[in-house]
Structure formats: C-alpha cells, structure tokens
C-alpha cells in the first residue's frame, strides 16, 4: 500500500501522532482515547503496517505498534524540496511587499 493512501485517513494520522508522542502502544492503549471501535482500529493499524508506516510485534499476548522511522524519513525526504520551494516563494513575496511599502 502507498504511504499517501495510508496517511489520507484522519484516524490513521491520529494513530501516527499518538505513536509519535507516546511511543509504542498496544491496540488497547490506542483505543482508550479514541472514538473509533477496536475493530476499526485493527483495520487502520493493518493498513499502516502494510504501508510500512508502523511496525508491530508481539510482547507476550499483546501486539505493540511502533512508528517506522525509515518510512517517516522517506516521506520527509520527498516533501522537503516542495517545502523549501514554498519557503523561498513566501520570502520573495515578503521582500516584494516590504519594498513596496518603503
């Protein structure tokens, strides 16, 4: 699965944010502060695992989920040139507007 399809859903983005902020989490921990059901959470987690955004491994009877830093870095590497281009454009606009006011 494509990483962008995985990130298209707001619930999956919330899962990623939770894993980023809190570290590894079980499905029980992820559903505790969520409005979605355990079944829906499982579906979203499986999509994130297939897209390699997160990984999962069993610790005893529980499956814990972690962010995959490689996938996140790949996404950042791809989007960075676009962000830099927009920063440059906004800086040029700010200079242009500043010159007109002088």
Q: Hey, which CATH number is domain 1-67, 3.20.19.10, 1.10.287.610, 3.40.30.10, 1.10.10.10? A: 1.10.10.10
The predicted-structure confidence for 38-51, as pLDDT tens digits, reads as follows: 999 999 999 999 99
pTM: 0.75
Name the band, by pLDDT with cuts 50, 70 and 90, for residue 100.
low
Report the interhelical angle of 10-22 vs 38-50 (nearest 10°).
80
Name the band, by pLDDT with cuts 50, 70 and 90, for residue 102.
low
Cα angle: 12, vertex 68, 62; to 5 degrees? 75
The predicted-structure confidence for 44-95, as pLDDT tens digits, reads as follows: 999 999 999 999 999 899 999 999 988 878 888 888 888 888 888 888 888 8
Counting Cα atoms < 13 Å in the Cβ hemisphere of 56 gives: 18
| Domain extent listing, the chain | 1-67, 69-102
């Amino acid at each position: 699965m494509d990483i962008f399809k995985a990130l298209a859903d707001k619930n999956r983005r919330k899962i990623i944010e939770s894993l980023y902020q809190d570290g590894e989490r079980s499905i029980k921990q992820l559903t505790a502060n969520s409005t979605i059901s355990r079944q829906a959470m499982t579906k979203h987690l499986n999509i994130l695992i297939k897209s390699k955004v997160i990984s999962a491994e069993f610790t005893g009877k529980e499956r814990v989920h972690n962010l995959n830093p490689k996938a996140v870095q790949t996404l950042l590497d791809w989007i960075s040139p676009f962000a830099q281009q927009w920063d440059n454009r906004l800086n040029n606009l700010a200079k242009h507007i500043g010159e007109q006011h002088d």
